[in-house]
Structure 1
């Protein structure tokens, strides 16, 4: 009897230990682009949010995988009847990863820094309507606006508005300290970033204890890393031609969703000859969108005719306004005095949609007499030369920020579109809360930038990811550029 009981106990213990061993608590996620630094509040690089949004840093509100906006560090809020005052009740017991308390002073510091004259925040324009941020008490913040903004809670969910602390801001680009469920551990530049579960987190603890983000920019290397099972997930997989092979392999799952990524042929509107709307319209008619989607993305992507996501209820299909028509493109160039064409530059950052799409677009432009010199640049070079330096003719990039048509109201933005009528329209939109009126204004905004051919509107980027079959809880769609690990776990 004693021996039987001992045997049963031993078998049960072994089974229990085997069950524990099978429940993995670490994960390796590959992404294509490495962040230039680790401060999401002072750069335009979405790669920063890809690693840190919702994992390490949190805002007053946050995006969920379905695109909804829910409370974040603000447990609740009240909005005054005139829409000018937002009073946020902060969550109790929230600490930064260095053990210091997160309170109203940190919220005030964050937004004062965003709005400062020397601010490097890439989305400062979203928050310039804030006239004052007041500490009511440690758990209460009052935010005052100059005019009502129907997008304010949405804007506060952006990675550019995550809450940071004055005590750690000096080293934030290398040592990010947030309030999220994971804390930053290390960054081996050119290779990986490691994060681990923050035991002091105020909310529900994530199932994962550790996560490693690997940077693999080359599509061939991306395929090899997944097939060899060196990585558990490849978020935004850069080689769509390989997806059928992964779909046929029971070791993997392929996630196909949508993003907020309007992929565009960005045009320097102040650089001749692109300061002539006829030249920009010629560009638009020289482009065969479907050929780009088929050739660069193997059919994954939705054609767009303006800077707006097709899955948004306010989207207007304007692709017909810039339909592929090489003869019309040539006629427009002739009308603009450029019948013999011209030469320009085409800066291409690393993503496959840019490098592969750029080759196709260069050939399409050449067909109407436009010679585009391809210049391949790394992401940091693109940010310095194109985004900040505005030293380019054309470039290809996917704008992955959610509902970001407002960037066209900023004449200092890198493509330098300056239209006072559009700026006035966006000011009206920001001050409007009625849903039907907002929809009509957004439609008008789409029509204006399409008619002005501000950029060449190509396609809405598909969200294509590959993961091991046992990984669960990943976002399928990408309402913002983030690899949210808060709900990710391994099936047993």
Structure 2
């Protein structure tokens, strides 16, 4: 099985503390497992955890680890491996992008060979969902240290070769604990093909069996090619334009609001995604979430209001560089940036679109400059998405936003059991981000994959991340 995907870079690593894009993320999930797994319908099942149970009003969680699971080198999985893997992201000196997810952990310990007890600083009914995150992959302990370098894991595939940004080759793990129910390919190659046209050509020529991020401009034509099937999945993944709230350019809330009113979302949906998505509202919670606030008014294009806000802030005639790359969005990042620059002129905003290389964008540009772009895969719960990207200390807080009231509400939401009260908390958080945050979220983009005739997928694909929540290598199969 050969996948042609985007998002690879020479800076890619097997270190789960990083922030991967699709090329290496597919390999992470092929090589390793987490304690829990989110299914395409949003339900949570055990992966390396056979079971889990809360006590002390969801402040203490006990996980029973599956018996008989081994790493690729034959080492049995133990509770100590789990504890060390979670601790790998903890601590004041942690550089992990998943650090915020484990900050609520006050203590974690193995109380038996296959039993892990987690003590939280405060109750959190959603904690088991956090253990399904791609950072929380379980790694082996070797000589007292977590081994992430070798690729050794419990997953359905064993690493054969790793060329960052180029190619990753895998072979099936014959001792996979899920047996024949998952990991159906004998061998897999993940090929990084950044250019959408080149990916399409590779699929049509048979060089690859499946591609991600099908170009919306050519999706109808590609779907008409004999032997090629198009699968489109809606979900909570959203594309972003990011304002660094600590920078001199965007420190003023009125300036941030002006830039939000300078976006014509309807036009962007039509011209950039050609309708393959839905419009966003400058906060991450969409209609697929249980606590989506339908009462939050949709922000519309209003250049006159943007002008008024800029004048109020003393920032009339503002000029900014928008630094981006094609990989910044799953589809149409450069086109969107150019269109936004055109739209913003009516508000007196001059945007210079600065195109950066795809290779190194995530490590050198994203979250490093005052004005850039990005995208975020959905998370199964409101608490998770807020914690991972909008908490002040989150490693992935790419707008560097710090709102004390939002922080208080984040804690309150975890402690609130009553659904009506919890809905009110999350509604207020959506309003805060919409009004005060540095996030411009104009679009929710659909995932579009192109498949060869021999590729079989589950009836329903996950929409959180592309390629079936980055689980395609394990979940898909190939007929003879």
- Distance in 1 (alpha carbons) for counterparts of 2:249 and 2:475: 49
Partner in structure 2 of residue 221 of structure 1: 198
Partner in structure 1 of residue 399 of structure 2: 415
Partner in structure 1 of residue 65 of structure 2: 90
Question: Gaps (5+ residues) in structure 1?
Answer: 1-26
Distance of aligned partners of 1:161 and 1:146 in 2 relative to their CA distance in 1, 3 Å threshold: same
Partner in structure 2 of residue 268 of structure 1: 244
Distance of aligned partners of 1:189 and 1:451 in 2 relative to their CA distance in 1, 3 Å threshold: closer
Partner in structure 2 of residue 337 of structure 1: 314
Alpha-carbon offset, residue 484 of structure 1? 2.6
- Per mean C-alpha deviation after superposition, the further-off stretch among 360-369 and 125-134 is 360-369
Alpha-carbon offset, residue 48 of structure 1? 6.0
The answer as to 2:432 corresponding to 1:457 is no
Alpha-carbon offset, residue 130 of structure 1? 0.6
Distance of aligned partners of 1:459 and 1:219 in 2 relative to their CA distance in 1, 3 Å threshold: same
Partner in structure 1 of residue 461 of structure 2: 476
Alpha-carbon offset, residue 67 of structure 1? 2.6
Q: CA RMSD in A?
A: 2.1
Contact kept in structure 2, 1:463 and 1:476, CA below 8 Å = no
When normalised by structure 2's length, the TM-score is 0.90
Alpha-carbon offset, residue 436 of structure 1? 3.5
The answer as to 2:393 corresponding to 1:405 is no
The residue correspondences of 1:275-290 to structure 2 (distance < 5 A) are: 275-290=251-266
The residue correspondences of 1:142-221 to structure 2 (distance < 5 A) are: 142-167=117-142, 172-173=148-149, 175-205=150-180, 206-221=183-198
2:360 equivalent among 366, 381, 390: 381
Partner in structure 2 of residue 292 of structure 1: 268
Contact kept in structure 2, 1:471 and 1:489, CA below 8 Å = yes
Partner in structure 2 of residue 445 of structure 1: 429
2:334 equivalent among 355, 360, 366: 355
Partner in structure 1 of residue 3 of structure 2: 29
Deviations 1:317-367 (A, max 9, x none): 47745210111111111111122x112121213323322211111222233
- 3-state DSSP of counterpart to 1:214: strand
Structure whose CA Rg is larger: 1
- Distance in 2 (alpha carbons) for counterparts of 1:37 and 1:391: 18
- Distance in 2 (alpha carbons) for counterparts of 1:201 and 1:343: 55
- Distance in 1 (alpha carbons) for counterparts of 2:99 and 2:448: 30
- Distance in 1 (alpha carbons) for counterparts of 2:267 and 2:152: 45
Alpha-carbon offset, residue 184 of structure 1? 1.4
Deviations 1:280-319 (A, max 9, x none): 1111111011221222222111111122133222222477
When normalised by structure 1's length, the TM-score is 0.88
Contact kept in structure 2, 1:63 and 1:479, CA below 8 Å = no
- Distance in 2 (alpha carbons) for counterparts of 1:438 and 1:31: 39
Partner in structure 2 of residue 60 of structure 1: 35
Contact kept in structure 2, 1:148 and 1:432, CA below 8 Å = no
1:364 equivalent among 338, 343, 346: 343
Deviations 1:18-68 (A, max 9, x none): xxxxxxxxx111111115333352112233663135421111101222332
- Per mean C-alpha deviation after superposition, the further-off stretch among 192-201 and 477-486 is 477-486
- Per mean C-alpha deviation after superposition, the further-off stretch among 361-370 and 249-258 is 361-370
Distance of aligned partners of 1:116 and 1:411 in 2 relative to their CA distance in 1, 3 Å threshold: closer
Distance of aligned partners of 1:38 and 1:489 in 2 relative to their CA distance in 1, 3 Å threshold: same
- 3-state DSSP of counterpart to 1:82: coil
- Distance in 2 (alpha carbons) for counterparts of 1:435 and 1:214: 45
- 3-state DSSP of counterpart to 2:154: coil
The answer as to 2:302 corresponding to 1:314 is no
- Distance in 1 (alpha carbons) for counterparts of 2:284 and 2:375: 10
Distance of aligned partners of 1:56 and 1:435 in 2 relative to their CA distance in 1, 3 Å threshold: farther
Deviations 1:158-205 (A, max 9, x none): 1011111232967635x3111011111112334211111101211123
